[in-house]
């Protein structure tokens, strides 16, 4: 067993951390206050190779592994989870299925420009009535000459208000079976498609939309892979992404811990830093222990992805532990700050709002517990 990151991984961490602290951090306040994403960052990410870090060099990517992907996520989230959320929705949820199952033409038109940050993408799966039950989705795709007509709605879709295309799941047959669900690449804007921007409590700098599709035409060459029944690609994508999202949660927890530690060292009460009081020191000790435990579970999960041995129960454990750790640590960071913790001058309130998103999004904690219990044979 080897619990060390490679020199290449450490170099990636250094590069992303420097980028996040010098280029992204100055943009956070404006993005959060205006609830708008600075789109030019996508081209910058493309220049740095961050959008293609997970993909093979033969396909135009950087050729790194899932561990590298998680390092990028952790370092981006350590500064701003909203930016990391838009990065994730684009670089994995939208692009990964095209890389995995797309036709050569689809890879040329969508995947490669996406990796360069020239086109921004999102993944349209969730629906107003569906929640966590993917198989119950209602958006329907009716076959017509030359393509399909899509009708339905999608909710909480990251990057939709600013995107150039969406990878969208729709039902191509009425029966409630996996083979009845297919993926489509829908270009924006499209006739009959309306996007309403949503206002959120968390990840405010990441633009999220409600989508209505009223007889939207999608040509045959935008059916992912040129064939129906791509539901298994969705499951594979979500499973791997949950390990990635766990790294996002780790980054949020680490960012909140660092802020709380700075405050505990700087804030003076009765002539000494509050970190010297046992009640504060113990909070920080618990935070550090929780983060360390989550850290190695996350990167164990990433290693399992790279080994091709990941399973649903392990993914669920990784995501559950990391997201709940982020929630506890960010709340503790607010408590250490006291009244200052709910002032926007400090980042800990933002970290906590963002952490709340991830005990719900990408599969609720309750769903993760169901998957873990199923792995126990219950």
Overall size of the chain counted in residues: 378
Check 35, 127, 207, 362 and give the catalytic one. Answer: 362
Cβ partners under 8 Å of residue 282, min gap 6 = none
Distance of CA 184 to the CA centre of its chain: 20
96 near 223, Cβ under 8 Å? no
The structure tokens 């913790």 sit at 341
Q: How many CA atoms lie within 13 A of 184 on its CB side?
A: 25
Tokens of 261: 């530690």
Which of 142, 135, 296, 277 is closest to 214 using CA atoms?
Answer: 142
Question: Where on the phi/psi map is residue 211: left (φ > 0), alpha (ψ -120 to 50), or beta?
Answer: beta
Distance, in Å, from the CA atom of 243 to the CA atom of 10, rounded to the nearest integer, reads 19
Which of 363, 370, 314, 377 is closest to 133 using CA atoms?
Answer: 363
- 101-105, Cβ contacts within 8 angstroms, sequence gap of 24 or more: 101/183, 101/224, 101/225, 101/230, 101/233, 102/224, 102/225, 103/221, 103/225, 103/226, 105/221
Dump the DSSP string for 199-255: P-SSSTTS-EEEEEEEEEEEEGGGBGGGSS--HHHHHHHHHHHHHHHHHHHHHHHHH
Which of 135, 120, 49, 62 is closest to 89 using CA atoms?
Answer: 120
Whether 362 sits among the annotated catalytic residues: the reply is: yes
Q: How many CA atoms lie within 13 A of 117 on its CB side?
A: 18
Which of 197, 216, 217 is closest to 208 using CA atoms?
Answer: 197
Instruction: State the catalytic residues.
Output: 362
């Amino acid at each position: 067993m080897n619990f060390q990151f490679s020199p290449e991984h450490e170099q990636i961490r250094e590069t992303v951390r420097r980028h996040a602290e010098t280029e992204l951090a100055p943009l956070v306040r404006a993005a959060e206050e205006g609830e708008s994403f600075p789109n030019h960052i996508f081209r910058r990410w493309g220049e740095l190779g961050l959008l293609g870090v997970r993909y093979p060099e033969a396909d135009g990517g950087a050729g790194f592994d899932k561990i590298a992907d998680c390092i990028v996520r952790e370092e981006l989230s350590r500064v701003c989870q909203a930016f990391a959320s838009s990065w994730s929705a684009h670089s994995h949820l939208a692009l990964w299925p095209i890389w995995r199952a797309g036709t050569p033409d689809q890879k040329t038109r969508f995947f490669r420009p996406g990796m360069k940050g020239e086109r921004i993408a999102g993944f349209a799966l969730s629906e107003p009535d569906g929640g966590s039950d993917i198989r119950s989705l209602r958006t329907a795709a009716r076959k017509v000459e030359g393509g399909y007509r899509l009708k339905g709605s999608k909710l909480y879709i990251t990057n939709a208000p600013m995107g150039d295309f969406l990878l969208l799941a729709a039902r191509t047959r009425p029966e409630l079976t996996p083979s009845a669900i297919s993926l489509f690449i829908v270009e924006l804007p499209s006739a009959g498609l309306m996007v309403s921007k949503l206002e959120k409590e968390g990840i405010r700098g990441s633009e999220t939309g409600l989508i209505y599709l009223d007889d939207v035409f999608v040509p045959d060459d935008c059916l992912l892979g040129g064939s129906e029944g791509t539901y298994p690609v969705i499951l594979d994508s979500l499973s791997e992404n949950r390990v990635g999202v766990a790294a996002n949660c780790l980054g949020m927890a680490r960012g909140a811990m660092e802020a709380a530690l700075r405050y505990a060292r700087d804030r003076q009460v009765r002539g000494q830093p509050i970190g010297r009081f046992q009640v504060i020191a113990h909070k920080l000790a618990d935070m550090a222990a929780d983060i360390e435990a989550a850290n190695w579970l996350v990167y164990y999960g990433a290693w399992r992805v790279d080994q091709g041995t990941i399973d649903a129960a392990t993914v669920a454990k990784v995501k559950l532990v990391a997201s709940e750790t982020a929630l506890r640590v960010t709340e503790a960071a607010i408590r250490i700050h006291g009244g200052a913790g709910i002032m926007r001058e400090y980042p800990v309130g933002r970290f906590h709002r963002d952490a709340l998103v991830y005990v719900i999004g990408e599969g609720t904690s309750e769903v993760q517990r169901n998957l873990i219990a199923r792995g126990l044979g219950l």
